[in-house]
């Protein structure tokens, strides 16, 4: 153990913390979150343990409820920021469907969003770092409703259910489940919050049921585990394993193996903000290996994002990654022993867990993964599927013999920042947000993000160099491969109609009209979920004209398709968005200076095709 949290770096990015229904615990959470943010990490907490505003204090007074303390946590995050710099702190807070304050929780961010709109109309700065959004609450946290199967079934059937007191478990108020799902969809329509996490699906795939339930996630929703735990992340750039013949499974497996070993070493060479997190991190040793650039890989192979071929390739890659990760974890267990929680379910803060160990729980989930791999079929590449199946057989055989060194091994993280460092065209599991996108930086300035794998995709699809140059010039000018109307003239890009779908992006790109349907996003999440230890950090993008009812149906479909959690963003719902797929004409107006003498002037920060300056 390190003597202080300054001896080793805080290498984990993802934390889940617990809070009890006491003032001491509530304020201790504020302190530990501040320390996490100071070192650049994010934290998630389920607030369902805090008694509602409808209950009583022991002294007879009225409690303020979890939302009032959420204001405190939001303020702490806003002041500390991430690593003490310009980037916002990352927070997730959930509330269970049975909590008496669930309706207020659902409405919290949309009410604040309307305040921001009023300020913007009065002339306040509308940017995401401006005065309008800085003046309202809950802007430093993601909110998600933790929904059970019973809640979803009641909402679909139009039935009512009872909330219950936190303190004694007695029924509190009767609620209309369908009405609450409508309110969730309405909030998402207005400002993107709340999202939804599906509690029963999450805990079905929980490897350590013997130690307790999974109550919350990290801010981006990919890491799900016990309270007071941490996970370090790493992601592989899939384009580095693309070959002319397909996908290099051997090199990919070698890279995954090295990363799992390195990540396991990091567990012991990291600092942690609290005693509980330090104890449980060593007790369970959860890891989060993932990948980035999937959208670019599919595009470069000539596959539309959620086409059968695209889904099949993504499934086979994900199955291989997790199989190699568990096989390596079992190898490590043979040398260093299984994680302590494998044979002893008791852990920090939980001396009397539901079961004495997690052996059966772990084996049950590993078998669920292998069964999913066995069911893979065409059009998934069969050589990669066969490789994945053999890896999983080895992982289970070694696990039976040695156990596993790590309670979890894989997640799909957003890779928003490291994607730039790895020179990725697309982040995590996302498709291209547009064929050209413009990202507003937290510290000021704008980055242009062209998709560099477009020429490779066109080459794969059989286009001649001259046509490739013409199509790329068309994209640079109009932001799309589609034909565009310029005045009375139709400008063709030169692409074949049957190939346009390969270049569909999350939002309308440039002057184009096409975009991926919300079903494409859910299909991809559903396809990959059975092959991951954790979940998928992904935004389901919906067009500006999408209705609240369509958002509701998207939540229902995601639950039915076995997705663990889902966040939805309707284009244009926020008055300020960090990434756009069309230029802001106001920013592009030329500045004309008339002079009769020589004068010095700075070059622009961004010069096409030469360099890019971050300021």
Q: Which residues are catalytic?
A: 218, 220, 222
CA distance 504 to 426: 13
In DSSP terms, which residues pair with 440 in a beta bridge? 446
Q: Is 230 helix (H, G, I), strand (E, B) or coil?
A: strand
Give the other-Cβ count within 10 Å of 377's Cβ. 10
Query: Do residues 417 and 443 lie in contact, with contact meaning Cβ atoms separated by under 8 Å?
Result: no
* Residue ranges with strand state E in 114-194: 142-147, 160-164, 171-176
Closest CA to 91 of 31, 16, 38: 16
CA distance 407 to 385: 24
Q: Which residues contact 211 (CB under 8 A, 6 or more apart)?
A: 226, 284, 341, 345, 346, 347, 350, 353, 354, 355, 358
Q: Is 83 helix (H, G, I), strand (E, B) or coil?
A: coil
Closest CA to 90 of 128, 47, 136, 36: 36
CA distance 223 to 204: 15
* 293, two tokens: 């650039």
**Helices 359-374 + 382-402 axis angle, to 10:** 160
Closest CA to 398 of 458, 323, 479: 323
Q: Which position has the token pair 């002339």? A: 123
∠ at Cα 276 (273, 277), nearest 5°? 50
162-184 residues labelled b (16+ CB within 10 A) or e (exposed): ebbbbeeeeebeebebbebbbbb
* Residue ranges with strand state E in 241-294: 242-243, 246-247, 287-292
Tell whether the torsion through CA atoms of 69, 72, 78 and 79 is positive or negative.
negative
Give the other-Cβ count within 10 Å of 406's Cβ. 28
Closest CA to 451 of 239, 242, 289: 239
């Amino acid at each position: 153990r390190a003597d202080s949290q300054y001896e080793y770096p805080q290498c984990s990015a993802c934390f889940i913390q617990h809070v009890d229904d006491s003032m001491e615990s509530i304020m201790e959470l504020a302190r530990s979150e501040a320390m996490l943010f100071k070192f650049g990490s994010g934290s998630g907490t389920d607030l369902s343990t805090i008694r509602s505003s409808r209950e009583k204090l022991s002294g007879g007074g009225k409690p303020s409820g979890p939302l009032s303390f959420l204001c405190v946590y939001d303020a702490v995050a806003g002041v500390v920021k991430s690593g003490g710099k310009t980037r916002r702190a990352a927070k997730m807070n959930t509330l269970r469907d049975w909590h008496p304050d669930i309706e207020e929780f659902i409405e919290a961010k949309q009410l604040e969003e309307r305040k921001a709109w009023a300020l913007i109309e009065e002339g306040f700065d509308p940017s995401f770092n401006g005065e309008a959004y800085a003046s309202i609450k809950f802007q430093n946290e993601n909110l998600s409703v933790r929904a059970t199967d019973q809640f979803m079934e009641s909402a679909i059937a139009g039935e009512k259910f009872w909330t219950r007191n936190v303190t004694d478990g007695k029924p509190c108020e009767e609620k209309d489940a369908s009405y609450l799902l409508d309110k969730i969809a309405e909030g998402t329509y207005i400002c993107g919050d709340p999202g939804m996490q599906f509690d029963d699906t999450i805990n079905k795939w929980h490897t350590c049921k013997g130690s307790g339930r999974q109550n919350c996630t990290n801010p981006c929703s990919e890491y799900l585990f016990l309270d007071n735990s941490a996970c370090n992340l790493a992601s592989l750039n899939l384009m580095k394993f693309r070959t002319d013949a397909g996908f290099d499974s051997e090199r990919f497996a070698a890279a995954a193996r090295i990363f799992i070993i390195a990540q396991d070493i990091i567990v012991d060479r990291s600092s942690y903000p609290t005693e509980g997190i330090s104890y449980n991190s060593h007790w369970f040793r959860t890891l989060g290996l993932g990948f980035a650039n999937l959208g670019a890989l599919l595009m470069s192979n000539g596959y539309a994002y959620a086409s059968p071929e695209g889904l099949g390739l993504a499934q086979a890659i994900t199955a291989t990654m997790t199989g190699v990760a568990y096989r390596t974890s079992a190898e490590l267990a043979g040398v260093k022993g299984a994680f302590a929680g494998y044979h002893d379910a008791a852990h920090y803060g939980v001396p009397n867990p539901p079961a004495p160990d997690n052996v059966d729980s772990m084996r049950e989930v590993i078998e669920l993964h292998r069964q999913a791999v066995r069911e893979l079929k065409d059009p998934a590449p069969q050589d990669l599927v066969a490789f994945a199946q053999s890896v999983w057989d080895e992982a289970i055989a070694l696990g039976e013999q040695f156990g596993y060194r790590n309670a979890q091994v894989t997640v799909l993280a957003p890779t928003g920042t490291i994607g730039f460092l790895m020179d990725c065209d697309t982040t995590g599991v996302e498709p291209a947000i547009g064929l050209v996108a413009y990202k507003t930086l937290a510290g000021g300035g704008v980055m242009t993000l062209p998709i560099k794998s477009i020429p490779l995709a066109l080459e794969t699809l059989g286009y001649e160099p001259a046509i490739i140059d013409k199509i790329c010039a068309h994209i640079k000018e109009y932001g799309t491969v589609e034909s565009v109307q310029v005045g009375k003239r139709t400008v063709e890009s030169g692409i074949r109609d049957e190939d346009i779908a390969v270049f569909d992006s999350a939002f309308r790109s440039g002057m184009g009209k096409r975009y991926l349907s919300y079903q494409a996003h859910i299909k991809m999440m559903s396809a990959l979920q059975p092959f991951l230890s954790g979940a998928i950090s992904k935004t389901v993008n919906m067009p500006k004209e999408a209705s609240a009812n369509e958002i509701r149906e998207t939540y229902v479909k995601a639950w039915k398709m076995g997705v663990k959690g889902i966040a939805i963003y309707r284009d244009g719902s926020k008055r300020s968005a960090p990434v756009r797929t069309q230029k802001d004409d106001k920013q592009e107006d030329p500045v004309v200076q008339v002079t009769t003498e020589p004068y010095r002037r700075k070059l622009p920060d961004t010069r096409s095709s030469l360099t890019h300056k971050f300021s």
